[in-house]
Amino acid sequence: MIEREREVFSQLQSSAIVAVLIINDARDAVPLARALLAGGVNAMELTLRTPVALDALRAIRAEMPDMLAGIGTILFARQIKEVVAAGAQFGVAPGTSPRVMQAAAEAGLPFAPGICTPSDIERALEFDRRFLKFFPAEPSGGLKYLESIAAPYQHLDVKYIPLGGVSEANCHAWLSSRHVGGIGGSWLAPQNLIASQDWSAVQHLAARAIAIRDGVRSSTLLS
């Protein structure tokens, strides 16, 4: 389990950009994944906010092997078995439910619980979670707040993936932080573009996000 988790979260950090998606029609799943991948985004989180999320995941896992696909909005322990059976490569939650974290550990599912306070971080660390979702990122105080609460745990090599208010406008700042292992956002595939099946627009947004990521990495290497 530990080796698999390291591999998955290493891939997420390498990708750095995770598309967070709400899909209402499972038939949109593969074209959407294909558009994101064409733009360079090879990691996605399908949220359990619609009844077709698991069907969408199955389709993507079957037809898009180059896409790292996980499930988000996991709220109950019973959902862990369902997402594992559907082929989820990782799981994400908005909070730090001990029951959900324990179920993920028992199922061998690489899992990122959601944190917002130092107490949340410590609860996650009790389950040896080192890759954490920071949510809601911007409403909670943004990057300045994250850097403040992350400082006491920096020596433990904890990484955070902010979601909530992260956008093209501020993703450069987030990606520049040493605490951030990647960013997640729904701006890469907003509902209106999915509804209109404007896959070229999705590809364009993905490519712009990747260009920002690569720019951050280039400036880091030069500094």
Residues designated as active site: 45, 133
One-letter amino acid of 4: R
Task: Enumerate residues 6+ apart whose C-beta is below 8 A from 120.
Answer: 95, 96, 113, 114
* Residue 60 burial (C-beta neighbours within 10 Å; 0-12, 13-18, 19+): buried
Q: For the chain, what is the radius of gyration of the CA atoms?
A: 16
Please, what sign has the CA dihedral across residues 211, 217, 222, 223? Answer: positive
Q: Is 1 helix (H, G, I), strand (E, B) or coil?
A: coil
* Residue 208 near residue 187 (C-beta atoms within 8 A): no
